[in-house]
């Protein structure tokens, strides 16, 4: 008997109401049970690479809220880490890497790439075995541009000036870096699907800092290459693209990259989202701070999205990841609002 997973129906273009619901970063610091497991793990990367604990934290929001989808607990920077770059996470500072130089790009070592990432694949296998049958399992990677920004700067920056400048000054080396990341990210997603992921999402969190030409070369082309490689092996697995901050570039992003669904950030106007929805599923796009605020701000935001997008293929989500200060009771309220919605 085939299993019905509502998020997969939406990604095929069907309108499901109330829509399926999950949150980016749904396994995270806003949950007391996550904080407890995180302390037990030691470092953040230890948590990512320990299948017992990674499964535990991935399942926590499913058990608490009954979301329609579960996203693998990991981080976009496991890809450069698996390529031999040092990656560490410091409390209050986020990810830190040794900045990569132009001459080092050719020496990135993919020889042990899948060996290094085997704990992640094991986590996916266990999740698919332990999740409720109706829950969609999402795998993911970072888009090459966004991952490259961290590799070049060595940390997050407000406008990714180090990576932009590197791309202008060292165009050949930068293109080689994007190609290496695209090839390995595609292989990474293929292995996640092989292990049991139903859907994969490509996070391009920093696509909004680029001009039109660079957006095409650094965001669209590498993601299109990932999609092409994944589709060669798994032609029917849905792929969600999330080019945060892409603004009007959203209008042609699906056609140019080949992604199935579009993840929308909270700045995308709902009228524009309706137009994008005519070409296929959209996902989003509640401002995460409405969830922090709760009350009327939350209710108004949820209602507006459901009224504007509820008649088409919609996966209800935030417009970016949930923030650590979000009260759990506000998440409970949002889930109740979406689940009880009527047309």
Active site residues: 25, 29, 38, 75, 150
Hunting for tokens 């919609």 — which residue is that? 314
**Cα–Cα dist 317/308, whole Å:** 14
Please tell me whether residue 34 adopts helix, strand or coil conformation.
helix
Tokens found for residue 63? 């058990």
Hunting for tokens 């990656």 — which residue is that? 87
28 and 34 in contact (C-beta within 8 Å)? yes
Helix, strand, coil percentages, rounded to 5, for the chain: 55, 15, 35
Tokens found for residue 172? 């050949």
Q: What are residue 293's phi and psi, to 5 degrees?
A: -70, -40
Measure the CA angle with vertex 31, ends 73 and 118; round to 5°.
15
DSSP readout, 228-265?
HHHHHH-TTS-EEEEETT-GGGHHHHHHHH--SEEE--
Burial 271-308 (b: 16+ CB within 10 A, else e): ebbeebbeebbbbbbbbbbbbbebeeebeebbeebbeb
């Amino acid at each position: 008997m085939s299993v019905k997973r509502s998020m997969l129906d939406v990604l095929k273009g069907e309108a499901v109401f109330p829509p399926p619901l999950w949150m980016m970063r749904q396994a995270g610091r806003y949950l007391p049970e996550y904080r407890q497991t995180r302390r037990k793990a030691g470092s953040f990367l230890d948590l990512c690479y320990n299948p017992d604990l990674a499964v535990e934290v991935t399942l926590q929001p499913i058990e608490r809220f009954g979301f329609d989808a579960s996203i693998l607990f990991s981080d976009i920077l496991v890809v450069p880490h698996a390529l031999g770059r040092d990656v560490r996470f410091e409390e209050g500072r986020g990810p830190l890497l040794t900045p990569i130089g132009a001459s080092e790009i050719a020496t990135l070592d993919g020889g042990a790439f899948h060996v290094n990432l085997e704990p992640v694949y094991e986590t996916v296998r266990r999740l698919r075995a332990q999740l409720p049958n109706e829950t969609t399992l999402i795998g993911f990677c970072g888009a090459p541009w966004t991952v490259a920004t961290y590799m070049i700067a060595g940390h997050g920056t407000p406008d990714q000036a180090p990576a932009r400048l590197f791309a202008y000054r060292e165009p050949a080396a930068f293109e080689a870096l994007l190609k290496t990341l695209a090839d390995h990210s595609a292989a990474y997603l293929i292995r996640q699907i092989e292990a049991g992921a139903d859907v994969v999402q490509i996070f391009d969190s920093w696509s909004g800092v680029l001009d039109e030409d660079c957006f095409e070369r650094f965001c669209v082309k590498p993601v299109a290459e990932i999609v092409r490689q994944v589709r060669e092996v798994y032609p029917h697995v849905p792929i969600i693209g999330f080019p945060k901050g892409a603004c009007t570039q959203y209008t042609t992003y699906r056609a140019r990259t080949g992604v199935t669904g579009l993840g929308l950030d909270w700045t995308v106007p709902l009228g524009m989202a309706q137009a994008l929805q005519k070409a296929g599923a959209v996902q989003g796009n509640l401002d995460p701070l409405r969830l922090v605020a709760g009350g009327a701000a939350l209710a108004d935001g949820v209602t507006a999205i459901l009224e504007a997008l509820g008649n088409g293929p919609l996966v209800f989500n935030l417009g970016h990841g949930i923030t650590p200060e979000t009260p759990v009771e506000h998440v409970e309220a949002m889930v109740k609002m979406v689940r009880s919605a009527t047309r």
